[in-house]
Amino acid sequence: MNKIIFISIMASISLSAATIEIAQMPKDSQRIEATAPNVILSYNNAIKDAKKSVVNIATTKKSKQNDQLNELMQNPFFKEFFGNKMPELKQQERKSHSLGSGVIISSNGYIVTNNHVVEGADEIVVTLPDDEKEYKAKIIGQDSKTDLAVVKIEAKDLHVTKFGDSSNLQEGDVVFAIGNPFGVGETITHGIISALNKNNVGLNQYENFIQTDASINPGNSGGALVDSRGALIGINSAILSKSGGNNGIGFAIPSNMVQKIATSLVEAGKIDRGFMGVSIADLTNDLKELYENKQGALILMIEKNSPAEKGGLQVSDLILEIDGVKIKNANELKNTVAAIAPDKTIAITYERDKKVKTTKVKLAKMAGDEVVVSDEKSTVTPIEGLSLLEINDKTRAQYQIPKEIEGVLILDVTDNSKAEKMGFKEGDVIIQVEQIRISSLKDLNNALKEYKNSKKRVIINRQNYRAILVMP
């Protein structure tokens, strides 16, 4: 009995021997009273000038009813069936109206807004702050890929916005959204920057959003997001909401992107983007083990005769910098290259075989995006759990594989196999292993033998997208 008690006491002493230090904030903090006598906390000075440059935009779209029904009724089959006595329905014009916002960027009437605010509009009417006069606006240029547009009104001596540098923003910065929500007139809401460099939101082709919890509601689109100085740091674009109301997740296009796009639209009426000719992706955790650098844009595919190919880049190269600017991920590379004018030569720093190299690429102009087996048999490869088919005319037609895709089709993936754990899926097409292009089962077998004793990158085509898997 005494022995048991002794052991229990020793265990208790042993358990209590561990120590932990809890970090403490300084105790001599100061508290500032927001309700000091005769003192009003106000942001009026921060936004009084900025709001003068935000305008209301009303658009009208005209559409004709009965067009599709008339086409159907004039079909020869129906006309013959009804004895050529089909009446033609009278066209009825229908008008739809919508509201949005815009920001004045020049004293002589240029205004930047969202493309979706003015897209397809037959009439655009702009009203200025504290002014009942209506100005008819014309579209100067549109860019659907960033959802930006520039319109112009005939007016002079307008109050223009002052641009801030959106690359200097930080999460937690106080911001104000100025616009015309729900058509109630000029409204100001405030919040903070919730996140930066948001992409893959699914709104635009080129995304680098500022996320904010400042209320952005229908009608705010195209309005200003300003900082505590009143400097324009973004154009309010969209909200993430199931109901259509504000849920504290709003997105704005950063001012640096706005400035570049708006300037090009005013000066050229269009956007010419640089083009490298690559498909790219982010590094996965598995792929990071194969590279010294853990950030960058990974090349999945290179188009023939493209600037990238002419510059000596290869599939599986990891792009680290463009003209000295660090590239953290695929989205940054896409946005960076698209912002550079065609025909310009850029310096690219990249990693290949764990060595950092450099090359120069002259950008082009982006265009306005073992034995052949029967269709009932497959060949099992050294990749455990995969059944493969070589691609010929018959299998290409049967499995609807585009003619430009060459490789070996994955017909089946065994459940819980090594292949499934590596990420292979039925319908994938293996197109490359490291630097070896795959066009047959023989190519695949030879490639797997050559890299037998090392981890290897396998490039696949999955529903017309490129992906890289790592094989041990």
DSSP string, 105-122: -STTSEEEEEHHHHTT-S
Answer for the pair 183, 219: CB distance below 8 angstroms, yes or no. Answer: yes
| Residue range of the domain that includes 107 | 50-85+94-152
Whether pLDDT at 372 is above 60: no
Which pLDDT belongs to residue 221? 86
Q: What is the mean pLDDT of residues 17-37?
A: 71
3-state secondary structure of 334: helix
The DSSP code for 373 is: P
Overall number of domains in the chain: 4
What's the CA gap between 393 and 428, in Å, rounded? 17
Q: Give the Cα separation of 150 and 102 in Å (integer).
A: 9
What CA dihedral angle connects 440, 445, 451 and 455, to 10 degrees?
90
Average pLDDT over residues 293-311: 89
| Active site residues per annotation | 116, 147, 221
Co-location of 357 and 385 in the same domain? no
Q: Are 239 and 203 in contact (CB under 8 A)?
A: no
d(CA 356, CA 319): 9
Query: Residue 109 is which amino acid?
Result: G
**Percent of the chain residues past pLDDT 70, beyond the cut:** 78
Nearest to 50 by CA among 240, 301, 196, 225: 225
* 252: β partners: 210, 236
- Examine the fold and report which residue of 238, 268, 298 is the final residue of a domain before the chain moves on: 268
Residue 9 has pLDDT above 50, yes or no: no
Q: Which residues contact 226 (CB under 8 A, 6 or more apart)?
A: 46, 47, 50, 164, 175, 176, 178, 232, 233
The dihedral region occupied by 197, where left means phi > 0, alpha psi between -120 and 50, and beta the remainder, is left
Asked if residue 221 and residue 138 are part of one domain, the reply reads: no
Residue 442 confidence (pLDDT)? 81
- CA angle at residue 291 from 462 to 273, to 5 degrees? 60
Q: Which residues contact 72 (CB under 8 A, 6 or more apart)?
A: 78
Report if residue 195 sits inside a domain.
Answer: yes
CA distance 167 to 155: 32
> Domain holding 140: CATH number?
2.40.10.10
Least confident of 40-54, 80-94, 121-135, 173-187: 80-94
pLDDT tier for residue 73 given thresholds of 50, 70 and 90: low
Please indicate, yes or no, whether residues 188 and 254 belong to a single structural domain of this protein: yes
Whole-Å CA distances, 364 to 206, 207, 275, 279, 404: 18, 21, 5, 15, 22
Indicate the pLDDT class of residue 17, thresholds 50, 70 and 90: low
Q: Is residue 28 part of a domain?
A: no
3-state DSSP assignment of residue 330: helix
* Claim to verify: residue 226 and residue 144 sit in the same structural domain: no
Q: Is 172 left (phi over 0), alpha (psi -120 to 50) or beta?
A: left
Beta strands 250-254 and 232-239, pairing class: antiparallel
Confidence band for 370, pLDDT divided at 50, 70 and 90: very low
| Claim to verify: residue 259 and residue 288 sit in the same structural domain | no
- Classify residue 420: in a domain, yes or no: yes
- Domain final residue, candidates 223, 252, 268: 268
Q: What is the pLDDT of residue 13?
A: 47
Please give the pLDDT value at position 177.
Answer: 92
Residue 220 CA from chain centroid, whole number? 21
Band (pLDDT 50/70/90 cuts) for residue 445 is confident
Q: Tell me, yes or no, whether 357 and 305 share the same domain.
A: yes
Residues 109 and 141 both lie in one domain: yes
Asked whether residue 297 is assigned to any structural domain, the reply reads yes
| CA–CA gap between residue 146 and residue 142 (Å, rounded) | 9
In the prediction, which pLDDT does 374 show? 29
Q: 91: which residues sit within 8 A by CB, 6+ positions away?
A: 64, 65, 66, 67, 70
Q: Is residue 407 domain-shared with residue 430, that is, in the same domain?
A: yes
CATH number at residue 294: 2.30.42.10
Whether 120 maps to a domain, the answer reads yes
- 114 has pLDDT over 90: yes
Same domain, 263 and 199: yes
Mean pLDDT of 21-38: 71
Average pLDDT over residues 295-304: 88
d(Cα 52, Cα 54) in Å, to the nearest integer? 6
Note whether 25 and 64 are within 8 A (CB): no
- What does the pLDDT look like over 134-150, one tens digit per residue? 999 999 999 888 899 99
User: Which of 305, 334, 365 marks a domain boundary?
Assistant: 365
More confident residue, 8 or 423: 423
Q: In what helix (H) or strand (E) does residue 143 lie, and over which residues does it extend?
A: strand 134-143
Q: Are the C-beta atoms of 143 and 271 separated by less than 8 Å?
A: yes
Q: Which residue has the tokens 């087996």?
A: 373
| Whether residue 371 has pLDDT greater than 50 | no
> What is the arithmetic mean of pLDDT over 78-87?
54
| Burial environment of residue 61 by CB neighbours within 10 A (0 to 12, 13 to 18, 19 or more) | middle
Going by the DSSP 8-state scheme, the letter that residue 421 receives in this structure is H
The CA distances from residue 392 to 68, 119, 403, 440, in Å, are 42, 45, 10, 10
Give the type of residue at 147: D
Token pair recorded at residue 247: 């849920």
DSSP 35-92: T-TT-----HHHHTTGGGGEEEEEEEEEEEETHHHHHHHTSHHHHHHTTT-PPPPPPE
Does 400 share its domain with 355?
no
Which of residues 23 and 471 earns the better pLDDT score? Answer: 471
| Residue 9 forms part of a structural domain | no
Residue 42 lies in a domain: no
Same domain for 389 and 455: yes
pLDDT at 7: 46
Who has greater pLDDT, 469 or 61? 469
Same domain, 145 and 184: no
Residue 184, helix vs strand vs coil: coil
Rounded to whole angstroms, the Cα distance separating 54 from 186 reads: 8
Q: Give the residue carrying structure tokens 């190269």.
A: 317
8 in a structural domain? no
Query: What is this structure's pTM?
Result: 0.65
Kindly state the percentage of the chain with pLDDT values over 90: 32
